[in-house]
């Protein structure tokens, strides 16, 4: 299958083997034979460092390496769950780590790719946390801990996050309209693809008089979804059924 495939928010976790099996099937049935596969963050529910790989993740890493070995280019962005993926992992997979915001040519048009959490600026508590854990000094300090110590800190952070989410207004976890518009302006594009919000849709919007398109990838639980881009353009699809996901006429 030629063309480019994009997905995000698989949240692969040893506690959810069904999601890993679904994604493995996706690699075999959709990504295999594609020109390129872009994974836009949260491939893993948690990533504690390239030196602390859970044994349950080994088979999917091997399958991804086989995909690139067969000729499909693999590009990975950090998400809010797996921001510690590094060059060691990328080298093992034969993948390229992308910056937080990357503009690539897809379906004949420059397209901004990002995980999407940076657009959720109304959630100020999360943005403060994001700034902390993306700081190289914080990351170096965290990675200097033993894997067991990292795991314990991650467990405590997840518990705190669950408690905070219970009281939060769900609207602030979606993107901020002005942050979206600023991203379009900053990069001079009229198409954006991201994940993170778990609100899949194909949005049409107007920025400074120009018609723009924002495609949002779904999360992977009992099913998933992806975008396929070729010379005809980009289409947001469900997996495994392959049906087109909803379109929004405005924001």
The arrangement of strands across the sheet holding 210-216 comes to 101-106, 109-114, 191-194, 210-216, 201-207, 247-248
139 annotated ligand-binding residue? no
Pairing of strands 73-77, 95-97: parallel
Distance CA 228, CA 26 (A): 13
Query: Do you find a cis peptide bond into 240, omega within 30 degrees of 0?
Result: yes
Distance CA 33, CA 24 (A): 14
78 annotated ligand-binding residue? no
End-to-end CA distance of the chain: 33
Is-contact 248 204, C-beta < 8 A? Answer: yes
158 annotated ligand-binding residue? no
32 annotated ligand-binding residue? no
176 annotated ligand-binding residue? no
11 annotated ligand-binding residue? yes
115 annotated ligand-binding residue? yes
130 annotated ligand-binding residue? no
Query: Would you state the structure tokens that stand for residue 196, as one six-digit string?
Result: 């993170």
127 annotated ligand-binding residue? no
165 annotated ligand-binding residue? yes
Distance set, CA 121 to CA 102, 127, 173, 208 (Å): 19, 7, 8, 20
196 annotated ligand-binding residue? yes
Annotated binding site for substrate: 80-81, 123, 161, 165, 196
Annotated binding site: 9, 11, 42, 80-81, 115, 123, 161, 165, 196, 198
Annotated binding site for Mn(2+): 9, 11, 42, 80, 115, 196, 198
């Amino acid at each position: 299958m030629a063309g480019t495939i994009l997905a995000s928010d698989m949240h692969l976790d040893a506690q959810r083997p069904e999601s890993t099996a679904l994604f493995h099937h996706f690699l075999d049935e959709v990504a295999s034979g594609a020109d390129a596969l872009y994974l836009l963050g949260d491939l893993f529910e948690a990533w504690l460092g390239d030196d602390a790989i859970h044994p349950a993740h080994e088979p999917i890493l091997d399958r991804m390496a086989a995909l690139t070995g067969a000729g499909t280019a693999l590009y990975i962005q950090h998400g809010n769950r797996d921001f510690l993926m590094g060059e060691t992992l990328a080298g093992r997979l034969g993948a390229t780590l992308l910056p937080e915001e990357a503009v690539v040519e897809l379906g004949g048009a420059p397209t901004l790719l990002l995980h999407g959490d940076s657009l959720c600026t109304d959630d100020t508590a999360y943005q403060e946390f994001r700034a902390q854990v993306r700081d190289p000094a914080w990351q170096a300090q965290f990675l200097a801990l033993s894997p067991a110590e990292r795991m314990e800190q991650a467990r405590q952070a997840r518990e705190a996050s669950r408690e905070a989410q219970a009281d939060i207004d769900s609207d602030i976890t979606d993107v901020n309209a002005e942050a979206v518009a600023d991203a379009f302006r900053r990069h001079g594009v009229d198409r954006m693809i991201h994940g993170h919000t778990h609100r899949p849709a194909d949005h049409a919007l107007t920025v400074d008089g120009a018609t723009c398109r924002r495609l949002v990838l779904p999360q992977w639980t009992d099913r998933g979804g992806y975008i396929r881009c070729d010379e005809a353009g980009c289409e947001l699809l469900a997996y495994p059924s392959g049906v087109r996901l909803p379109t929004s006429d405005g924001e």
